[in-house]
Structure 1
Amino acid sequence: MTAEAPGTLDLDKLFAARLHAARARPYLATALFALHTVESRLVPTMSVDRYWRCYVSPAFVDRMPVEDLAGVWVHEVSHLLRDHHGRSDRVARERGLTGPGERLRMNIAADFEINDDAFGDGLLRPEGAVEPQALGLPAGQLMEDYLRRFGLEPRTQGMAWLDCGSGADGLTREWELGPDGAHGLSEQEQDAVRFRVAQGITARPGHMPKGWKRWAAEAFHPPQPWRALLGAAVRSAASGPGAGDDYTYGRPSRRSAGVPGAVLPSLRRRPPRVSVVIDTSASVSDTELGSAILEVAAISRAVGGRRDLVTVVSCDAAARVAHPLCRAEGIQLMGGGGTDLRAGFTRALRGRPRPDVVVVLTDGQTPWPATQPPCRTVVGLFPRQYGNRSWDEDDPDYVPDSPPAWARVVDIG
Structure 2
Amino acid sequence: MSSEVPLDRVKLLAARFRASSDRPYLASALYSLTVVPTTAIQTMGVDQHWRCYVSPAFVEQTSVTELVGVWIHEVAHLLRDHHGRADRLTVRDHHRVNLAQDCEINDDLLADGLSLPAGRIEPATFGLPTGKLFEEYVLSIPPTPDAPNCGSGAHGQPAPWESTGPGVGAVEAATIRRQTAQSVRASVRARGRVPAGWRRWADGVLEPVVDWRRALTGAVREATAWASGAVDYTYRRPSRRGAALRGVVLPSLRRPMPRVAIVVDTSGSMGDDALASALAEVNGVLRTVGVGLNRVSVLACDADVQAVRRVSTVGEVVLAGGGGTDMRVGIDAALAAAERPHVVIVLTDGWTPWPEIALTQTRVIAGLVGDTPPAPPVWIESIRIGD
* TM-score for the superposition, normalised by structure 1: 0.76
Mapped to 2, the partners of 1:265 and 1:52 lie a distance apart of 54
- Equivalent in the alignment of 1:27: 25
Q: Distance in 2 between matches of 1:120 and 1:258?
A: 80
1:153-302 correspondence to structure 2 within 5 Å? 156=144, 160-178=146-164, 180=165, 184-203=167-186, 204=188, 207-220=193-206, 223=210, 225-241=214-230, 271-281=257-267, 284=270, 286-287=273-274, 289-300=276-287, 302=289
- In structure 2, C-alpha distance between the alignment counterparts of 1:322 and 1:148, rounded to whole Å: 46
CA positional deviation for 1:373: 5.6
Report the AA paired with residue 86 of structure 2.
S
- Whether 1:139 and 2:130 are equivalent positions in the alignment is yes
Once the two structures are TM-superposed, the CA of residue 185 in structure 1 deviates from its matched residue by 1.8
Q: Deviations over 1:37-59 (max 9, x none)?
A: 22222220111122112122222
Q: Residues 401, 17 of structure 1: CA spacing in aligned structure 2 closer, same or farther, 3 A cutoff?
A: closer
Q: Which amino acid aligns with 2:376?
A: S
Correspondence for 2:104: 113
169-178 vs 374-383, which deviates more? Answer: 374-383
Check conservation: 1:68, 1:127, Cα contact below 8 A: no
Mapped partners of 1:65, 1:166: distance in 2? 26
**Distance between the aligned counterparts of 1:197 and 1:334, measured in 2?**
51
Using the alignment, how far apart are the partners of 2:222 and 2:346 within structure 1?
A: 12
Cα distance change on mapping 1:279 and 1:124 into 2, 3 Å:
farther
Choose the corresponding residue for 2:346, options 337, 345, 360.
360
CA RMSD of aligned residues (A): 3.7
Distance 1:208 1:267, change over 3 A: same
* Distance change in 2, residues 1:319/1:124 (3 Å): farther
Structure 2 residue matching 1:15: 3-state secondary structure: helix
- 1:70-102 C-alpha deviation (Å, 9 max, x unpaired): 1111111101111222333443xx55x3xxxx2
Q: Is the 8 A contact 1:272 1:303 kept in 2?
A: no
> Quick check: 1:61 aligned with 2:59?
yes
Q: CA–CA distance in 2 between the matches of 1:170 and 1:42?
A: 18
Asked if 2 retains the 8 angstrom alpha-carbon contact of 1:237 and 1:357, the reply is no
Question: Residues 98-131 of structure 1, C-alpha deviation per residue, up to 9 Å, x if partnerless?
Answer: xxxx221111111112122222344234422211
Q: Is the 8 A contact 2:301 2:307 kept in 1?
A: no
3-state SS in 2 of match to 1:321: strand
Length-normalised TM-score, structure 2? 0.81
CA deviation string 1:186-217 (max 9, x = no partner): 22322221111111223327554454344333
Tell whether the 8 Å contact from 1:234 to 1:302 is kept in structure 2 after alignment.
no
Q: Which amino acid aligns with 1:77?
A: V
One-letter code aligned to 2:308:
A
| Residue matched to 1:378 | 364
- Whether contact under 8 Å (1:112, 1:130) holds in the other structure is yes
Q: CA deviation at 1:376?
A: 0.7
Question: Which consecutive residues of structure 1, in runs of 5 or more, have no partner in the other structure?
Answer: 391-399
For residues 326 and 61 of structure 1, do their structure 2 counterparts lie closer, same or farther at Cα, with a shift above 3 Å needed? same
Say if 1:384 and 1:268 are closer, same or farther in 2 by CA, change over 3 A: same
Contact 1:43 1:57 in 2 (8 A): yes
One-letter amino acid of the structure 1 residue matched with residue 83 of structure 2? H
Which residue identity lines up with residue 359 of structure 1 in the other structure? I
Q: CA deviation at 1:345?
A: 1.6
The CA deviation string for residues 281-325 of structure 1, in whole angstroms up to 9 with x for no partner, is: 4555644651333213422554542x2321112233443202222
Instruction: Say if 1:362 and 1:379, in contact at 8 Å, map to a contact too.
Output: no
Distance 1:334 1:48, change over 3 A: same
Amino acid at match of 1:279: D
Select which of 310, 318, 322 maps to 2:296: 310
Separation of aligned partners in 1, 2:338 and 2:313: 21
What is the rounded CA distance, in whole Å, between the counterparts of 2:251 and 2:8 in structure 1?
83
Contact 2:279 2:314 in 1 (8 A): no
Q: Kindly, what percent of the aligned residue pairs are identical? A: 40
Q: 1:9 to 1:384 in 2, by over 3 A?
A: farther
Counterpart in 2 of 1:150?
Answer: 141
Shift of 1:32: 1.1
DSSP 3-state at the match of 2:7: coil
CA contact (8 A) 2:67 2:116 kept: no
> How many Å separate the matches in 1 of 2:198 and 2:152?
22
* Equivalent residue number for residue 347 of structure 1: 333
Report the equivalent of 2:12: 14
Distance 2:9 2:322 in 1: 67
Partner of 1:411: 383
Structure 1 window deviating more from structure 2 (137-146 vs 52-61): it is 137-146
Work out the number of aligned pairs and report it.
373
Unpaired runs of 5+ in structure 2?
none
What CA distance in whole angstroms lies between the structure 2 residues aligned with 1:167 and 1:355?
44
